[in-house]
A and B are shown apart, each in its own frame.
Chain A
Amino acid sequence: MTSLAHADLIVWQESFATGVDEIDEQHQILVHTLNEANARLTDESSIELLDAITRDLLSYALYHFETEERLMEEHDYPRERGDDAELHMQQHRAFSAKVVAVREEIKAGRRIPRDELLAFLNNWLINHILNTDKRLGAYIVARGLP
């Protein structure tokens, strides 16, 4: 059976929840990706594994950011909370740009060290989900979910 006995695995907890189910479900996917990277990635891992993980991250960026930005639009977030919305979308673009950059580096023969990639994902999880996304979630919940 699959028991990933690793000290640093992130266990989803209620404090991560934004209150918007659709967003929370997708956040669990990022936690899953992070945990997988944590469990499987080493500095000697194959390029294929790094390629697969970063591709998953690009994929995540595509559907997850669409979900969030569609919700923002539907709930008038950019008009009601201009600065928050601006910052939020900036963080989305920066995430994609960073992943693309990591892939470019890999292509040129410079693979990102395991810890650097994990630190990036961890920071993203903490800064973005626990701050930026929760602000959006609270806003949507306060307006009343559709």
Chain B
Amino acid sequence: MHGPQPQLPKLTSRLTEEGIVIEQNDGDELGRLRNIVSTIQVAVQLWDRNGRQEYGNAAVQRLYGDEPELLSGRPCRQHLLMADDSPCLGESSPVWQVLRQGAVLTEQVMRLETEGRPVRWLRVHAYPMHLNGNLSGVLTTSADVTSLIEKVRQLEWLAHNDPLTSLPNRVLLADRLQVAMAHSQRTGIPMAVCLLDLDGFKQVNDLHGHKVGDTLLQEVAQRLLAIVRGDDTVARVGGDEFALLLVELKSPAEGELVLRRILQAMAQPFSVAGQPLPISASIGVTIYPDDGVDADKLLRHADLAMYEAKKAGKNRFHFFDPTRDRRIRANRSAIERIAKGLDAGDFHLLYQPQVNCRSGQIIGLEALVRWHHPVLGKRLPGEFLPLIEQDDMILRLGEWALVEALRQIEAWRAEGIELQVGVNISARQLHQGDFLGFLQKLASEHRPEALASLQIEIVETAALEDINAVSDLITRGRELGVRFALDDFGTGYSSLVHLKRLQVDELKVDQTFIADMLDDAMDLAIVEGIIGMASAFHRQVVAEGVETIDQILMLLELGCEVMQGYGLARPMPAEAIGPWLARYTPDPLWQLASTPRPSRTDFQLLLAEAGHRFWVDRVLAQARGLGGLETPTGDYRTCQFGRWYYGQGMRLYGRSKDFSQLEQLHRRAHDLGERLLASDIDRDAAGFLDLESRLLETRNKLMDCLRGMRHGADEIAIRDVRRTPPRYRRKP
């Protein structure tokens, strides 16, 4: 070492409350500086090129005691640790680092462990000193920053832990969850993410105050920590909500065991300040990686499962079901698919004509929505409407259909086609949105004639959901010139009182009844009833889903003239309506119902068949004590079939061999019916059932006989497609 040797100065300055008090001025600048340095609380040391201290101020002793050379890595009783927790020994010491590298070392936070004293934190700087271009030594400063570091560490702890229970909080949980997920993915061993919510905690707080509640939470935390295994995590994530990470679950049973223990521990009464506090826990669990989502979603899934546990009665755990969740999301995606289709213009209206089969006149059209799915092709409403019935999507679709239908009505009017167009409106549209407001807006944007051509079709069951509101809506809507129809009539209560209140213009008979009325006497009775109601209330009645000539003839006979269905015309695009109208000619067969031509007999046989079937049904119902149907006529001459047989039937078919066989069968049926009505199923079940089956057998023979006559003798071949009705080809 060259140059003047620094000497320990005489203590001629003091640090006081006022600051540094210089009591003696050495006269030169260096002396004055030395004096000042000797007083400050930062330990200042000068080191030679061999790492030996040459000078240290008073603070060195205060900080390092009798071991001033800790910073040059000399082994000592005290332990000095580097920022990375490695011991400060030899070459790694700040002094030697500077001596080796010749560069400044700043802001080293080091830990000093002295026996019998709390740990201290030091901030150390080390500067190389150069003299004449040569490294001559090192200057170090060491400051005690313990209070600052502890404050920082305290803040850091608070950022990651819950002060009440000392458990990790949400932030630290997120870290741990990431680590645990990575581990689980690496090892392939599942883990459980659980959310635990205390049942009855609010009552504890309300009854005993927050202080007791807080103590309870601390005890809960202790019990949880006592149950989980070493690598598991318990965190407090909310008021009375805890999260658990159960890692390394070698089997589902292992996780369930821990969960069951937790439930038991929570259900053991707690006692705070002598107060017994009965609580329990509800736990939602999801298993990673079975539930292969990100950390946030895992917690959300555990939360959902926790609510399920609560809903199922608390004090239990519930596993999240990823497939159910996928299912719900997939269902949601189907709805979004429909929304996208509507935006993309993939929806279209088709129009199906309604025909008055007595006059041959076209009455109107029903607009039916079709989805031209880009992949699946044309989809029918029955496939997609149910998905959006309970979603606001149906409102958008309904509004779109009304606007589109009105646009088409105006376009047709410009071509001279003036037809009424029915548009189906959902229950949700009636009850949720401001439907009347929407109608008023339409009225302000379109000509009154166009609006007068619009008919809104409401499903009967939807109208009944809130009959007051719907009745009001119909009244106000009709003031705007719009017509209303009750659709799918017969599927609701179809009561006279309702019909009186709902001022609709039209009743549409549900097609399921039309499809089955020729086979099922009950359905026939329903159709007859609806036609009667419509006539009594002066409402137009329309039969939907008419497919065969037999149905048309039967409906005409029953007094229903306006019909719609594949049997008359299929739904078609708007541009096809004009050409169809130009080509349209009524089917001469419809005339059968109102002309006395011989071919009409075919229809008579049909009616006779339905009449007899209905009679047998009534007998069976009555014999079994089931109400609801009127008492059947016992006399074989005055029942519906009998009246036909001994009247018109006799005149037309009297000479045929089959005809006399009919009488035999019919009389046998009446005989069996009478005996059946007189017998008692409770007293003689076997006899009763025997009579029943013989009656049905006789009925079937009679019907076969009638059908044989229909197929055999007629000049006009009426397509008998009754046996293969595409029954479910519902509202296209």
Chain A residues within 8 Å of B, Cβ to Cβ: 1-2, 25-26, 28-29, 31-33, 51, 54-56, 58-66, 69-70, 73, 92, 96-97, 99-101, 103-105, 107-109
Q: Given contacts A59-B387, A63-B333, A105-B512, list 20 more A-B pairs with CB under 8 A.
A: A1-B319, A31-B323, A55-B387, A56-B327, A58-B383, A59-B334, A61-B383, A62-B337, A62-B379, A62-B383, A66-B373, A66-B376, A73-B375, A100-B383, A100-B730, A101-B730, A104-B512, A107-B488, A108-B491, A108-B512
Complex interface: chain A residues within 8 A of B331 (CB): 56, 59
How many Å lie between the Cα of A107 and that of B545 in the bound state?
Answer: 15
B513 at the interface (CB under 8 A from A): yes
Q: How far is the CA of A108 from the CA of B387 in the complex (A)?
A: 19
Q: Which residue of A lies closest to B373 (CB)?
A: A66
| A28, A96, A104, A105: residue with the most chain B Cβ atoms closer than 10 Å | A104
A96-B382 Cα distance, complex, nearest whole Å: 9
CA distance A116 to B321 in the complex (A): 27
Q: Are B316 and A58 in contact (CB-based, < 8 A)? A: no
* Residues from 314 to 357 in B contacting A, C-beta threshold 8 Å: 316-319, 321, 323-324, 326-327, 330-331, 333-334, 337
Q: Do residues B728 and A100 form an inter-chain contact, with CB atoms below 8 A? A: yes
Number of A-B residue pairs with CB-CB distance less than 8 Å in the complex they form: 91
Contact of A108 among B323, B330, B337, B513 (CB under 8 A): B513
Q: Is B537 at the interface (CB under 8 A from chain A)?
A: no
B314 to chain A, nearest CB (A): 12
Residues on B with C-beta less than 8 A from A104 are 382, 512, 728, 730
B580 adjacent to chain A (CB < 8 Å): no
Give bound CA distance, A108 to B337, whole Å: 29
B386 and A60 form a contact (CB under 8 A)? no
Q: Give the contacting residue for A32; candidates B308, B323, B512, B728; CB below 8 A.
A: B323
Is the CB–CB distance between B375 and A66 below 8 Å?
yes
Contact of B330 among A60, A69, A105, A109 (CB under 8 A): A60
Which A residues are CB-close (under 8 A) to B104?
none
Q: A59-B331, A65-B376, A73-B375 known; A103 and B326 CB under 8 Å?
A: no
Bits for B374-402, please: 1 = Cβ < 8 Å to A, else 0.
01100110111011000000000000000
Measured CB to CB, the nearest residue on chain B to A108 is: B512
Question: Does B510 lie at the interface of the complex (its beta carbon under 8 Å from any beta carbon of A)?
Answer: yes
**Min CB–CB distance A45 → chain B (angstroms):** 18
Interface-central residue, B331, B337, B510, by most chain A CB under 10 Å: B331
Task: Tell me the complex Cα distance, A82–B305, Å.
Answer: 46
Residues on the B chain within 8 Å of A107, using CB = 488, 491, 510, 512
Q: Using known A-B contacts A28-B323, A101-B728, determine if residue A96 contacts B373 with beta carbons closer than 8 Å.
A: no
Distance in Å from the Cβ of B240 to the closest Cβ of chain A? 21
In this complex, what residue of B is CB-closest to A73?
B375
Q: Please tell me which one of the listed residues B324, B334, B375 contacts residue A70 in the complex, with CB atoms under 8 A apart.
A: B375
Instruction: Find chain A residues with CB under 8 A from B308 CB.
Output: 2
Residues of B within 8 A of A1 (CB): 309, 316-319
**In the complex, which range does the number of interface residues on chain B fall in?**
35 or more
Contact A62 B384 (CB under 8 A): yes
4 closest A-B pairs by beta carbon, nearest first, are: A101-B728, A108-B512, A100-B382, A32-B323
Q: What's the Cα separation between A109 and B516 when bound, in Å?
A: 13
> Are B380 and A100 closer than 8 Å at their CB atoms?
yes
Question: Which chain A residues lie closer than 8 Å to B337 at the CB level?
Answer: 62-63, 66
15 contacts between A and B (CB under 8 A): A1-B317, A31-B323, A56-B331, A62-B379, A62-B384, A62-B387, A63-B330, A64-B330, A65-B376, A69-B375, A69-B376, A92-B376, A104-B512, A105-B512, A107-B491
Closest chain A CB from B123 CB (angstroms): 55
Q: What separation, in Å, do the CA atoms of A92 and B324 have in the docked complex?
A: 23
B306 to A: closest C-beta gap in Å:
12
Which of chain A's residues have a CB closer than 8 A to the CB of B380? Answer: 100
| Residue in chain B with minimal CB distance to A66 | B375
Residue of B nearest to A110 (CB): B512
From B330, B387, B491, A29 is in contact (CB under 8 Å) with B330
Q: A80–B573 Cα gap in the complex (Å)? A: 34
Residues from chain B with a CB closer than 8 A to the CB of A103 are: 382, 386
Report how far A6 CA is from B179 CA in the complex, Å.
38
Q: Which residue of A lies closest to B384 (CB)?
A: A62
User: How far is the CB of B324 from the nearest CB of chain A, in Å?
Assistant: 6
Residues of A contacting B491 with CB < 8 Å?
A: 107-109
Give Cα A2 to B728, complex, Å.
38
Neighbouring A residues of B386 by C-beta, 8 Å = 51, 54-55, 58, 103
- B380, B387, B488 interface centre (most CB from chain A within 10 Å): B387
Contact A29 B326 (CB under 8 A): yes
